[in-house]
Structure 1
Amino acid sequence: MTELDVLQAVRLKGRATADQLVATTGLDAAELQQTLDQLVAAEHVIAKGPLVRISDTGREQLAELLAAERADIDTDAFAAAYSSFRDVNGDFKALITDWQLRDGQPNPHDDASYDAGVLARLPRIHERVSAVVDEAGRHVPRLSRYGTKLDEALAKLSAGDTSWLAKPIADSYHTVWFELHEELILAAGLTRDAEAKAGHAQ
């Protein structure tokens, strides 16, 4: 599954360095670099300086790998897991909105009590999404790592660094959540566009 892991990570990140891909996949650095070199040679990934991005042929290859992965999934059981994610996703979206906006205006984060109240809702959301990740991981084992990544982001938040809630270009809680959502959509055989039209996409 290494080729799938790396192609999917590159696609989700858009553009990424090898170090970022190591962090997001959990693969050994040497193993990741070897796979990345092979993908560049096959023109599935395009390298420009330290950054890589997926190519059109890489997207085609990834689609084939994901389709093969889906063929072994218990679709009904996975659909149930994804339905549970949809439920908790609404609560997480509301939390992020309340963190970023207050009374319809950008939150200046000058009211510690307000911010603490918003963040106090996260542990329960984390508990619920962790159960979803556990179930999804039983069907697609590589998805289990999202539980670890969410745990790590929550730990940084709990230590007082609130930037790890929605920090861009980092594996913040929101970034990991977005990538998990994309993984679940694809594993369920759906598309983000269809989910957006149904009101389920983030």
Structure 2
Amino acid sequence: MPAHASPPDLLTLHALRLLGFADGAKAAVRFGLDGDTVGELLMDFEAYGWVTRVEFAGSGGWTLTASGLAENERQLAAELAACGASGQVVRVHAAFLPLNLRFQETMTRWQLRPVRGDPMALNDHTDFRWDDRVLDSLGSAARRLAPLVADLSAVLSRFDGYAERFNAALSRVERGERQWVDAVGVDSCHVVWFQLHEDLLASLGIDRGQEE
């Protein structure tokens, strides 16, 4: 059975959930949607009170309102029920949780390198052996992530691409572009991982602070 393909209205609203803040073009790119279609949907969503246009750091874009967040969660729950994907997503989320703990530890080791007298010292990235061990952990995360994403994509096509995006970021890191570990504003390893985590939580209706 082919994976369920989510409709453009769900994907447009969900793109804003995952991105947090985005203009219409970026929201369209997130799921490979037609830009004009997304633009029209965003205008409709504004009329419904689901999104609002804001200015941030000198640029304009869209973000979800509280009612838009609730509508996104309603749509996702209805989609899971309709296509019978709930069990698969629940199983993948359970398998993802221990990986997520290790990934968070890896990010901490990338950002901090304890020294005598200062256990919270920032990592200045001059200890190449330390950084290489962190990058080895990222490579392990990539290998473990791929089958989970494949399981998700087999039932819901909107999960396609997470493993490829993570690997693309990791490849840039390995070429010396170390900002692609955790930079914001680009598809860094951390950004891609965070979005997948958010996607799982949103799909299952779990609050991030209440996740076990």
Pick one of 102, 111, 120 that aligns with 1:91.
Answer: 102
Q: What percent of counterpart residues are identical?
A: 28
> What is the aligned residue count?
196
Asked if residue 76 in structure 1 is aligned to residue 76 in structure 2, the reply is: no
> Deviation of residue 119 (structure 1)?
0.7
After superposition, residues 31-50 of structure 1 pair within 5 angstroms as 31-48=37-54, 50=60
* Residue matched to 1:3: 9
* CA–CA distance in structure 2, aligned partners of residues 154 and 23 of structure 1: 21
**Highest Rg: 1 or 2?**
2
Amino acid at match of 2:15: A
* Residue matched to 1:108: 124
* Residue matched to 1:53: 63
Please give the TM-score of this superposition, normalised by the length of structure 1: 0.86
How big is the alpha-carbon RMSD for the aligned residues of Structure 1 and Structure 2?
A: 2.0
Unaligned runs of 5+ in 2: 1-6
* Residue matched to 1:67: 77
Contact kept, 8 Å, 1:100 with 1:106, in 2: the verdict is yes
**Greater relative contact order, per chain length (Cα 8 Å cut-off, separation 6+):** 2
> Deviation of residue 74 (structure 1)?
3.8
Contact kept, 8 Å, 2:85 with 2:156, in 1: the verdict is no
Contact kept, 8 Å, 1:47 with 1:53, in 2: the verdict is yes
Asked if residue 18 in structure 1 is aligned to residue 34 in structure 2, the reply is: no
Unaligned runs of 5+ in 1: none
Amino acid at match of 1:176: V
3-state DSSP of counterpart to 1:32: helix
Asked if residue 160 in structure 1 is aligned to residue 166 in structure 2, the reply is: no
3-state DSSP of counterpart to 2:142: helix
* Residue matched to 1:118: 134
Contact kept, 8 Å, 1:70 with 1:189, in 2: the verdict is no
Q: Which deviates more from structure 2 when the two are superposed, residues 14-23 or residues 135-144?
A: 14-23
3-state DSSP of counterpart to 1:53: strand
> Deviation of residue 171 (structure 1)?
2.0
